A and B are shown apart, each in its own frame.
Chain A
Amino acid sequence: MANDILVFVEHLNGDITDATYELLATARSLAAQTGGSVDAAVIGTGASALADDLGGADRILVADTDALGAFNPQGHAEMFASLVETRQPAITLVPYTSVGMDIGNHVAATSGQPLVSYCLSVDAGDGLSGTCQLYSGKVQADVQVEADRAVFAMLAGAASADDGRSGGAAVIENVDTAVPDLAITFIGTAEPEAGDVDITTEDILVAIGRGIESEDNIEEAQALADALGAALAASRPIIDQGWLPKTRQVGKSGLSVKPKVYLALGISGAPEHLEGMRDSSTIIAVNSDPQAPIFGVAHYGWAGDLFDFIPELTDRLEG
C-alpha cells in the first residue's frame, strides 16, 4: 500500500542479521509518520521458520524456497522486486551490505524509484528525505527525494537492532515462490580459515590502517602490540595487500570487535570500518588528519603522526 514500509530481510544459515533488525527499527518510526504498516519480506531457504524471529514487523511476507541457495543476487532481487511491484510500498528499506547492494540497486532500477544510498537516517514527515554519508564518511549530505516512493540503503548503526526485534503485529502471509529463470546459480558458501589469534576475544587491539604505509612498518606496530599485551588488527587495505591475514580484519567484511581498548592508528574511519569497532569500550585514535572521520566515533584522539606515537608509547611501556 501507498504508505507502507517494506523491509528486505537478510539472513544466512537460519539467522537474521542485525542489519535487518536495524531496518525494522527504522521502519517502525517511519510507519508512525506515514500511518502505514511495517512489512518484512523474507525470501529463500528456511523463510517460514524465520518468520518467528520477525516480531518487529506487522506483516511478514514469506517466500519459502530452496531453489535459490543461501542467497542468489538475481533470484532474491527479482522475487523482492515483484513484491515491491505488487505491494507498492512508499518506502523500501535494504541494508547497505554485500547482499543489500545487489537488492537495492536492482529494485530501484527496475521499479523506476530513486535510491538513496549510504543512508544514516530517513524521514517521511515532509515528503521523503534522508541524511547520507559521502566520501567515506568525510561529508554528510541531506537529500530530499523528488518522488512519492523511494528505496533507501541504510548504513549499519542507523538504528538500534534491539528496537527492531519486537513490537509488530507479526501477521504471516505466504507469497508466490515461483522462481524466475536465472542466469546466476548459487554454488555454496565458505567460512574463513581460523587464525592464530581471535581478535574478537582480545582486551586490547592495536589496529593499523593505510597510514602504516608499508609492510616493513608492521613490525613496529607488532612491537607496540607486544608491549601492550595486545593483538594486532587492521583495516581492509592492510589485509588486501597481504600484510596481515584476513582473520585480523575489522569491519563490514571482516569481524566485529568490542575490546576494552581499541587503538586505531592511521585508520581514516570509513563507515565499513566503523561498523566493526564502534562498540568498543574505549576507542583511542591517532591520525595526522584532524578531520578524519575516525575522530567522530573515537572517545579520545590525537591528531599527529603515528610514526612519532608508536615508538614513544612502546618505549614508555618497555622502560
Chain B
Amino acid sequence: MNIAVLLRAVPDPVEELEIDGVDLDRDFLGYVLNEFDDHALEEGLLIKEETGGTVTVYALGTADEVEQMLHTALAKGADTAKMLGSDLDVVDAHGQAETFVEALTGGGFDLVLSGVQASDEIDGQVAMLVAAGLGFPHVSVVVGTKPADGSIRVTKEYWAGITADYDVALPAVLGIQTAREAPRYVAVARIRQAQESGNLEELDIDQPENGSRMTITEMRLPEEGEGAEMIEGDEEAAVDRVLELLQAAGVR
C-alpha cells in the first residue's frame, strides 16, 4: 500500500504561551510534532510492514523543527519526506488542507493518514478537510486498522470506550487518534543518518487561496488559577489544606 502521512508542527505543549495581538507570540516558540500525527506515522509504518509499499511523509514549512521532524520520520522508516513551500505563511486548517491536497493530487496514494486533530485547528480538522478536497471517504478518531485487498478495516472510537468497525474502500483518508502500538522511538544516530540520506525533498507549492473565512478578533490566556482557590506555600501547606478539604467533603 502506498501511504501518505501528513505531519504538522504545533507549538510545544510544555511551553508557556504568550499572546501578541490576535495570535501567539511566536518569536521564541518551539514547535514539536503534533502528538496525534506521531500516532498516524506509527500506524502508517505498521501498515507498510504488513502490506509492503511506501510511506511518504509531508509537512508544511521549512523551519528547522519541520526538517528535524521529517528526518525523524525517515529514521523511523518512512521512505521519502516532502517539505512543502519555502515561504508559505499558512496557519489555518483550511490553508494547510489546500496545500496538502495540491501536493497529494495525482500521487497515487491508497491511504492518507494524519492525526485526528491538532490543538490549533480553530477552523476544522486538516485530515477531514484534505479528504473533502481529494474527494476520498474519511473516518476520524481511528484507533486501529487492518489492511485488506482494496479496502481497509478500521476501528473508530465513539465514546466511553465504545468502538465501531468499518470497511473502507481505498483510497481513503483516516484521522488517527491512537496507533495500534505506542509510537516507536528512534536513536539519534539513525536521525543523523537520515539527514545524510537525501530523501528529503522540498516542494514548491502555491500559497493557498481559500482561507478559513473567519477573523480572530481577540485572543487571551485564561487568568492564572481562574476558578480554583489556589493554595499557597509548600507541599506541607498543600497537604494540610487537602486534608481539611477531604474532611469537609465527608470522605475522611
Contacts and interface: CB of A to CB of B under 8 A. Distances in A.
B125 A117 contact: yes
B129 A105 contact: yes
A109 B129 CA distance: 7
B228 A298 contact: yes
B169 A184 contact: yes
Contacts of B235: 302, 304-305, 308-309, 312
A247 B11 contact: no
Contacts of A295: 224-228, 230
A187 B139 contact: no
Interface centre among A144, A204, A253 (most CB of B within 10 A): A253
Contact of B158 (A69, A135, A189, A286): A189
Contact of B228 (A117, A183, A301): A301
B138 interface: yes
B167 interface: yes
Interface string A203-232: 110000000000000000000000011000
A67 interface: no
A93 to B, nearest CB: 15
Contacts of B141: 98, 101, 253
Interface stretch (B57-65, B196-204, B212-220): B212-220
Contacts of A204: 246, 251
Given A296-B222, A304-B238, A253 B164 contact: no
Contact of A192 (B160, B168, B217): B160
Contacts, number: 276
Contacts of B13: 135-136, 268
A300 B228 contact: yes
A293 interface: yes
B251 to A, nearest CB: 5
Interface residues of A, number: 99
A147 B213 contact: yes
Interface stretch (A1-9, A49-57, A254-262): A254-262
Contacts of B239: 309, 312-313, 316
Contact of A313 (B119, B216, B242): B242
A240 interface: yes
Interface in A173-206: 182-192, 203-204
Interface stretch (A21-29, A30-38, A70-78): A70-78
A261 B228 contact: no
Interface stretch (B16-24, B66-74, B106-114, B185-193): B16-24
A293 B231 CA distance: 16
Interface of B: 11, 13, 16-17, 19, 22, 24, 93, 116-117, 119-125, 128-129, 131-133, 137-141, 153, 156-169, 172, 175, 177-178, 182, 212-222, 224-231, 234-236, 238-239, 241-243, 245-246, 248-251
8 contacts: A109-B132, A184-B166, A189-B164, A228-B246, A284-B245, A301-B228, A302-B231, A316-B243
Interface of A: 12, 17, 69-74, 97-99, 101-102, 104-106, 108-110, 114-118, 129, 132, 134-147, 150, 153, 182-192, 203-204, 228-229, 240-242, 246-247, 249, 252-256, 260-261, 263, 268, 281-286, 289-291, 293, 295-305, 308-309, 312-313, 316-317
